[in-house]
Amino acid sequence: MADDKKYTTIHYHNYLELDKILSAQTTRSGAIDGKPAHEETLFIIVHQVYELWFKQIIHELSSIIDPFAADSIDEQNIGIAIGRLERVIEIQKLLVQQITVLETMTPLDFLDFRNYLFPASGFQSFQFRKIEVMLGLLEDERITYGNHHYSSPFNEEQKTELKELSKGRTVFETIESWLERIPFLKFKNFDFLSHYKSAVNNMITKEQEAIKASSFLTDKEIESRLKMLGDTDTYFDSILDPKVHAEKLKKGELRLSYNATLAALLINLYRDEPILHNPFRLLISLVEIDELMVTWRYRHAQMVLRMLGRKIGTGGSSGHDYLNKTAEKHRIFTDFHNISTLLIPRSELPTLPDDLKKELSFNFSNK
């Protein structure tokens, strides 16, 4: 009989607690002046939906961090992580689209209730700051306004939570650690870097010859394009020389460790090998999440410019200028984007030894 109580019936309305949700759109204009501005309801609902989606993103990211922080990663966990990151991506697309809904409100419509919002601001969204921290946005990479710390709007418990999250338990750091530990970095008798450097030299030589042989370019244009093309020291020095990579890490030009960068490069170059399909999809998901964060910030900045022009934000920020700067600077997975700089054509890829190729394939036997 006790087990039967687990499955008591419930109504749709009660399951979703719609009384709480649908009664949470109290307009400030109506509460203060008794004359609710029509557009304020839309403004509230859009931002409440943002916060609900933020909650789901946090739920997904939390489920990924713990498995990847473990010493060994089950292949199944990689597939699960990809599915959840792809869900985050689809949610982010909705977040961008919601701006279009908000823009059905005109600037004059917004001014009907904007004066009731001071000093509330999106900068005070704890969940959004939590997402940034969980993904791995570094504190010294943040743009703040008024010289206030990004956690200043929050209570002590929230500040502590953000501080603890930033101590090595971010998506960036757990993925970096996973890349450093993946087993195919040990190549036995295959000197990947030596073969890769030769392939890079061959690629650059071919491109140089094609530029020099062009009948459509002037001598000056040929010289300019050859300079732009560069050589192995131009783009590839950080992967071909660990010391150069270390120097760039020290200067803040790079963030991803050398071994993790090498692993990410290998995954991208040999993505067609069966065992590397999922690792490649995982890295691409992180790149897309970064891109959509930037897209959302730019769209948000453009919406604010459209609604407010150059007015300051209700929270005291510089409004559009502040938001635009965050879109330019608040990038997290730049090192994964930059892997594309190191890629070479499939035709130039070093051929893998048979034993290594076998390790990177799915092999089945009846024995």
Residue 86 host element (H or E): helix 75-102
Residues of the domain holding 70: 35-182+241-335
Q: Flag whether pLDDT at 47 surpasses 80.
A: yes
| pLDDT at residue number 96 | 96
| pLDDT at residue number 365 | 45
Tokens of 247: 């120097």
The answer to the question of residue 354 being in a domain is: no
The answer to the question of residue 154 being in a domain is: yes
Tokens of 296: 């959302």
With a threshold of 0.85, does the pTM exceed it? yes
| CA distance readout (Å), 173 to 166, 170, 257, 340 | 10, 5, 10, 20
The answer to the question of residue 45 being in a domain is: yes
**Highest mean pLDDT (candidates 19-23, 218-222, 309-313):** 19-23
Read off the DSSP letter of residue 22: H
The answer to the question of residue 134 being in a domain is: yes
| pLDDT at residue number 364 | 45
Which CATH number covers residue 171?
1.20.58.480
| pLDDT at residue number 118 | 85
CB atoms inside a 10 Å sphere around CB 145: 19
Using left for φ > 0, alpha for ψ between -120 and 50, and beta otherwise, residue 230 falls in left
Q: Flag whether pLDDT at 136 surpasses 50.
A: yes
The answer to the question of residue 219 being in a domain is: no
Task: Quote the number of domains for the chain.
Answer: 1
Report the alpha-carbon distance of residue 27 to residue 44 in Å, rounded: 8
The answer to the question of residue 320 being in a domain is: yes
Average pLDDT over all residues of the chain = 87
pLDDT, average across residues 103-130: 91
The answer to the question of residue 362 being in a domain is: no
| pLDDT at residue number 61 | 96
Tokens of 108: 């004059």
Q: Flag whether pLDDT at 314 surpasses 60.
A: no
HSE-up of 32 (CA within 13 Å, CB side)?
A: 9
User: pLDDT higher for 7 or 162?
Assistant: 162
Token pair 């791995």 is found at 136
The answer to the question of residue 314 being in a domain is: yes
pLDDT, average across residues 36-43: 97
Handedness of CA 37, 41, 47, 48 (dihedral sign): positive
